Structure 1
Amino acid sequence: MQEPTRPAGTPLRQTSMQARVAEELRQMIISGAMPPGSGLSEMTLSQTFGVSRTPIREALKQLQIEGLVEVRPRVGTFVAAPSRREITELFQMKELFEGAAARLLAFRGNVPEVDHLEANMRAADAAVRKGDSERYEELVHEFHDLIVVGADNSKLEAHYRTLMNQLAYARLVRTSLAQPGRLSESDHEHHHVLDLIRAKDGDGAERVMREHVRRSHQALMAGMDNDRYRG
């Protein structure tokens, strides 16, 4: 595989620092450790990461390209806070990607990812019985990731991961699963998707996966409305 190039004149060490800072900031934003709207001061981040402001600045530019960071001229740099419309549009794309992935995986037959999905469902069932939403949340991420990886389509996977970063999905799924009854509903929907994948029913797997993503989006919107009302 060809090594990634770096801008001419950029020292390798500086490029490595930029990549490390970008990855750590990316994970902090995606996980919700840095909530939407949080200010991102180059000086503060430089002190936090123990690097100069140059790799911080370049890392923020990269995250801006990815849609995770917003630069407001003459105001500052902030963690992006997607609007309801943007969230809806991103979920529409998520529905397309995951539906296609479920279809492709179903057509592949008995591959290792299907066995991993079955193990995931056993663990998810146990988490639902215990009412362990935190553990179930982890298993939700694993379930969807296994389907995308199992599709065995590198282009689909690359675009999907960029999309999931823009969604900062970890914090959104928390809101979705907090809705009454959503934990068990989500678990049931996952079972239905897996049953169709095992049956090698590509059309059915795609349809049900897309329905599942739509229901997750609806639960998220309801949760956001409730949070706004309580605020």
Structure 2
Amino acid sequence: MGDTGDWAIDGTQTLREKTVAVLREALLNQVFKPGDKLVERTLADRTGVSRTSVREALRELEAEGLVTRESGKGVFVTRVSVSEAAQIYEARVILESATARLFAERAGPEALEALDRAIERAEATNQPAQAQLHARRLDEVSDVIMEGAGNEVTRQMAAVLRTRITFLRTITARVASSERRAETMGMLREISAAFHARDGAKAERLTRDYVKRSAAFAIDLLRKSRNDDA
């Protein structure tokens, strides 16, 4: 998204939806760095839409937690603090481990097949050059599990955190070693095996370990980033 042409808005979605999608993509790709001020006129020029459309898009991105509005100063790219990241992962541990047990108990054959396909797609993009796409593929794995678990309330709760989870997944995927990436996919395969075996307790435990491992890596990365900025 570094070239101005990549920012052009097409007509496949509503103008607001497309503007939000383009700006979200730029934020997740770290075209703008945490703490950068976002100027409506500049964004309007780069996207080719009105400042009103940009303003509406920024409001939605603010609700997603990707940007922060400071009274009298403007809109800035959100800095994800170590504390906030820790809380996001704590919520993930609770939601995803419980959902894993439900999926193991409730998912039908089609859901299990969909999960296997989603994991294969994630594995195919498991490299630093495709960090954001890989994060999206992991989102798709989570979506299949949430859907197959059959609990609409937990699915909606997870959706609230979706964009911030994707952001954290993207920044960690960019720097993860090949060994770590292989271990991550291996853990997902183990979780999938527990699902196929209908072992809810094991699926819950493995998912909890998987998310806690991700949390430790992301939080350590954020701490190092803060130290580098100091």
Give the TM-score category using the shorter length.
Answer: 0.7 to 0.9
Distance 1:226 1:83, change over 3 A: closer
Q: Percent identity?
A: 27
State the alpha-carbon separation in 2 of the partners of residues 171 and 18 from structure 1.
Answer: 24
Residues 195 and 223 of structure 1, relative CA distance in 2, 3 Å threshold: same
Instruction: Give how far 1:141 is off.
Output: 3.6
Matched ranges for 1:104-119 at <5 A: 104-119=102-117
Query: How far is the alpha carbon of 1:39 from its aligned partner?
Result: 2.0
Residue 26 of structure 2 is aligned to residue 17 of structure 1: no
Aligned counterpart, 1:142: 140
Unmatched runs of 5 consecutive residues or more in structure 2: 1-13
CA apart distance, 1:165: 1.0
The residue that corresponds to 1:73 in the other structure is 71
**1:1-231 alignment runs, 5 A limit:** 16-122=14-120, 132-134=127-129, 137=134, 139-167=137-165, 168-175=167-174, 178-179=176-177, 181-227=179-225
Q: Is the 8 A contact 1:179 1:223 kept in 2?
A: no
When residues 161 and 134 of structure 1 are mapped into structure 2, their CA distance, relative to the original with a 3 A threshold, is: farther
Does the CA contact (< 8 Å) of 1:109 and 1:198 recur in 2? no
Q: What CA RMSD, in Å, does the superposition of the two structures yield over aligned residues?
A: 2.8
Contact 2:88 2:161 in 1 (8 A): yes
Structure 2 vs 1, CA of residues 97 and 31 (structure 1 numbering), >3 Å: closer, same or farther? farther
* Gap change, CA 1:74 and 1:35, over 3 Å in 2: same
TM-score, normalised to structure 1's length?
Answer: 0.77
**Residues 177-221 of structure 1, C-alpha deviation per residue, up to 9 Å, x if partnerless?**
615732222122112211111111222212210110000111222
Larger C-alpha radius of gyration, 1 or 2? 1
The CA deviation at 1:34 is 3.3
Tell me the matched-pair count: 212
For the residue of structure 1 that corresponds to 2:185, the secondary structure is helix
Q: Which consecutive residues of structure 1, in runs of 5 or more, have no partner in the other structure?
A: 1-15
Specify whether residues 161 and 182 from structure 1 end up closer, same or farther in structure 2 by C-alpha distance, changes over 3 A only.
Answer: same
